[in-house]
Amino acid sequence: MDDKTTTKNLISSKLPFSSLEMGRDDVNVVCTYGKISIWFGRQVPDIIIGQILLGIASIDKSAVHELETICDFEDIMGYESHGYILVSYVRSSNGYRASFNVPFSSKKALFHLAGSITEELKDKDTVLDCYWTGDNSDIMRLYQELCNIGGWKLKVINYKDDSREKHNGHVIF
């Protein structure tokens, strides 16, 4: 029996998750019903960033990342040309404060987002928040999808009732 099968057997599909945390040393993903929060460490390979973003898209194409930036007016069209959807903009003292949704239904937008993450990682670790409508089954499907990434493991499961005794200590991995 492999690690994935063993881990899958430890997860109770009958109890609703509060959160499920998974990843490896250079990336950490925390899933809840409304949000996926991803921590990327500076050493994470570009291919892993892409696999995670495409993995989320394969489970929920309606997922989005909300981006707010200060830019020149002309740059707004540049973001839109990469597949970002302009939500709002307002003139500020140092340019325009623009809000965009980055749709996971657009591979073009995800490709640009992955490139932006890679650029940020040159200076510091980064956190990406994505919003989705995932439920227990979607969280499990995402976990199974991301298990294809080398070194991926389940870290912590929090159930809504959080009665750790019922789960024979198999909450933290």
The total of structural domains in the chain comes to 1
In a domain, 105, yes or no: no
HSE (CB half, 13 Å, CA atoms) of 76?
17
Model-level pTM?
0.86
| 100: CB partners within 8 A, 6+ apart | 66, 67, 68, 69, 79, 80, 84, 85, 86, 87
**How high is the pLDDT of residue 34?**
95
Which of left, alpha, beta for 77 (phi over 0: left; psi -120 to 50: alpha)? alpha
pLDDT digits (tens, 9 = 90+) for 120-145: 999 999 999 999 999 999 999 999 99
Which of left, alpha, beta for 106 (phi over 0: left; psi -120 to 50: alpha)? beta
In a domain, 108, yes or no: no
Residue 34 domain boundaries: 3-10+18-63+124-166
The CATH number of the domain holding residue 57 is 3.30.1360
82 or 136, which is more confident: 82
Query: Is residue 170 scored above 70 in pLDDT?
Result: no
The single-letter code of the amino acid at 131 is: Y
- Cα distance between residue 103 and residue 20, in whole Å: 23
